[in-house]
Amino acid sequence: MSTRFHVGGTALVAGMFATLLLAAVASLAWIPVHRSPIQIADTLDSEIEPDFDALLLRGQQEGGTYVVTLTVAGVVQESNYNIGVLVQDLGGPYGTYVYELTYQLGQEESYGTPTVRARNSLTFRFPLNLLAGNTYVVGLDAALFGPDTNDYVVAGPRESLRIQRLLALPIDSGLLAVAAATLAILTIVGGTHAVDRIRRGGHGRD
């Protein structure tokens, strides 16, 4: 009886551990987060004025702030730089929409976002508390409007953007949740049967 109890107990513990592990992984794969970091490189274009020729657009979350930096081939001027912070609502029906940061006359005009202009870079510190509830950053884009030429920076179609999860998995997290529930049921049923067999075996020797 002692050996069978040990084997049954080990199997029960292993089943419970595997169930908890699957459930934990599924939970992490479901938690939504802001996409960070984001980095979009753009090639140098000799036909675009250097001051309005974007080379790099990058963004990353720093606590409650999303820091976005645009780098140009020339020198950043005082006006005509627009940054789009692309967001989606969790489970919302509206798809991707934009918080437009407009840099004009040496300041960001749309939301009063703190902005730092260096020689060839422009950095916005966008407060995430401006976003609606359950809304997450999914991408960035930029539009630079020169006197004679414009430049646009995009990562791809907005339709392809999705809210990032805390843990990225190659399979649907829902499948893991189903697997965890199934394993939990099997563990309980198997454990119950094992206990019954052990009890019957013990009574048989009395």
DSSP the chain: -HHHHHHHHHHHHHHHHHHHHHHHHHHHTT-EE----EEEE----TTS-GGG-EEEEEEEEETTEEEEEEEESS---SS-EEEEEEEEETT-SS-EEEEEEEEETTEE-SS---EEE-SSEEEEEEEGGGSPTTEEEEEEEEEEE-SS-EEEEE-S-GGG---EESS--SS-HHHHHHHHHHHHHHHHHHHHHHHHHHHHHHHHH-
Say if residue 159 is in the same domain as residue 74. Answer: yes
Say if residue 23 is in the same domain as residue 113. Answer: no
Query: What is the predicted pLDDT for the residue at 132?
Result: 87
Say if residue 119 is in the same domain as residue 181. Answer: no
Query: What is the predicted pLDDT for the residue at 173?
Result: 47
Say if residue 183 is in the same domain as residue 103. Answer: no
Say if residue 23 is in the same domain as residue 39. Answer: no
Say if residue 70 is in the same domain as residue 136. Answer: yes
**180 within 8 A of 37, measured Cβ to Cβ:** no
Say if residue 51 is in the same domain as residue 80. Answer: yes
Say if residue 19 is in the same domain as residue 61. Answer: no
Global pTM reads 0.72
Say if residue 75 is in the same domain as residue 99. Answer: yes
Say if residue 149 is in the same domain as residue 174. Answer: no
Q: Which domain holds residue 160?
A: 33-165
Say if residue 72 is in the same domain as residue 121. Answer: yes
Domain count, the chain: 2
Domain of 51, CATH number, reads: 2.60.40
Say if residue 37 is in the same domain as residue 100. Answer: yes
Whole-angstrom CA distances from 90 to 19, 33, 55, 74, 134 are: 27, 10, 31, 39, 5
pLDDT per residue, tens digit, the chain (206 aa), is 454 444 455 656 665 666 666 555 556 566 899 999 999 999 999 999 999 999 999 999 999 999 999 999 999 999 999 999 999 998 777 789 999 999 999 999 999 999 999 999 999 999 999 998 899 999 999 999 999 999 999 988 888 899 988 776 555 545 545 655 675 666 666 556 555 555 665 555 55
